[in-house]
Amino acid sequence: MQNYYHATREVDFTASQLAGDTTADVAIIGGGITGVSAALHLAGRGYKVALLEAQDIGWGASGRNGGQALAGFACSLHKLRQLTDEQTVKRLWNMSVEAVDLLQSQVARFNIPASLVRGYMHVALKARQVRDLHEEQEELAALGAPVGRLLTGAELQARLPSPRYIAALEDKLAGHIHPYNYTLGLARAAQAAGAQLYAQAPVSKVEQGRTITLHVGKHRVRASYLLVAGGAYLGGLEKKLAGYIMPVGTYVMATEPRDDVPSLIPGNEAVADLNFVLDYFRRSPDNRMLFGGRVSYSTLPPPSLGASMLRRAQRVFPQLKDAKVEYLWGGNVDITVNRAPHFGRLADNILFAHGFSGHGVSLTGLAGKLAAEAIAGQAERFDLFARIPHSRFPGGPAFRTPALLLATSWFRLRDML
């Protein structure tokens, strides 16, 4: 089945084709939000930019995700405190809020038809998850962030008429967008600012040095700086990064337009539960239920995916008992061991940013901005992320996936308890 976002594309954007050798101040590998955001901010600073995407702009996670734009990170703030310190956590949190603000401002600035909606709910299925929501309220208050109300009982049913959830925490910072239109809108703005964005330009080799040489078929791209932003689709291009991220398949389906969908989420919030293998969902502008979930640690789609996705949606909303799946798609996200984003340098003039662990719709845009700042000599904010410690997934190339499957079995079991 087709990707709903591709079927509802509204942005007129055409990437260039690399027809010969070229030079740039900065080369970028990856045409997702991180890459195009970096291209936009670098071009705005006067840099000559060449972005190289192996497929089409927005082809990867940036054009396939659930469209939920949140502050914070895939790992908890408690986990970040264990990895860093209280002051660093507060600065990182504030930058994650900036990431949401940046997304919203760029949609307005560049007139991107991204169907931006503010409003979000984190929902609990069991008592221990309600305690987690109370703890999150306390953490947000300590950070000076807006603290949403905890909804239960009749108030919750009025906002989310589902038998599955017992509590929900409002999130006034977060919201949802059409991620493919957003990515293409940023790409169009970067191109208008002077950046060269090349599609169907897979990089096969990177030669480091004062001048970096990238091999793209028979052509060469030479640059003074490089940003590696391939995410889950980087493959084995950079050996030093191998094992720090793992590609994990995740999937989204869209029902047919339905008259009852507005009544299922009357406030038009995005919603996600607190399970390790979570369900996340929202309304589309044309009143479809967009429902995401399932994961595949082998990256191979599960069997009977459409039927199983619809069953998950019907478990949340029995009202969808006669719904049909009209769109079904998936793709890979890049997860890290600790689920914190992974930024850093492979050399003084080679930066990387990836590992958003399914929490990158807003944060990737800021990552591109921070990389541009660092290349321009203002690296403090980029380096704050780069100081988060990371480790490789255990097991080596042959056994990383089986080891990950084993490690996640406990969390899957815990979802059921």
Residues 69 and 55: their CA atoms lie apart, in Å, by: 24
3-state secondary structure (DSSP) of residue 238: coil
pLDDT at 226 (0 to 100): 98
Superfamily for domain range 4-386: FAD/NAD(P)-binding domain (3.50.50.60)
Residues in the chain with pLDDT values less than 50: 399-400, 403-407, 409-416
Compute and round to an integer the Cα radius of gyration of the chain.
21
First to last CA, the chain: 34
Q: What tens digit of pLDDT does each residue of 283-331 get?
A: 999 999 999 988 887 767 888 899 999 999 999 999 999 999 999 999 9
3-state secondary structure (DSSP) of residue 117: strand
Question: Residue 141 region, left (φ>0) first, then alpha (ψ -120 to 50), else beta?
Answer: alpha
Q: How would you classify the pairing of strands 350-354 and 219-228?
A: parallel
Torsion, CA 189, CA 192, CA 193, CA 194, rounded to 10: 130
pLDDT at 397 (0 to 100): 58
pLDDT at 302 (0 to 100): 81
Element (H, E) at 123: strand 117-124
Phi and psi torsions of 16, nearest 5°: -80, 165
Q: What tens digit of pLDDT does each residue of 47-75 get?
A: 999 999 999 999 999 999 999 999 999 99
pLDDT at 264 (0 to 100): 98
3-state secondary structure (DSSP) of residue 177: coil
Residues 246 and 265: their CA atoms lie apart, in Å, by: 33
pLDDT at 406 (0 to 100): 42
Q: What tens digit of pLDDT does each residue of 254-263 get?
A: 999 999 999 9
Residues in the chain: 417
Per the confidence metrics, is the pTM higher than 0.85? Answer: yes
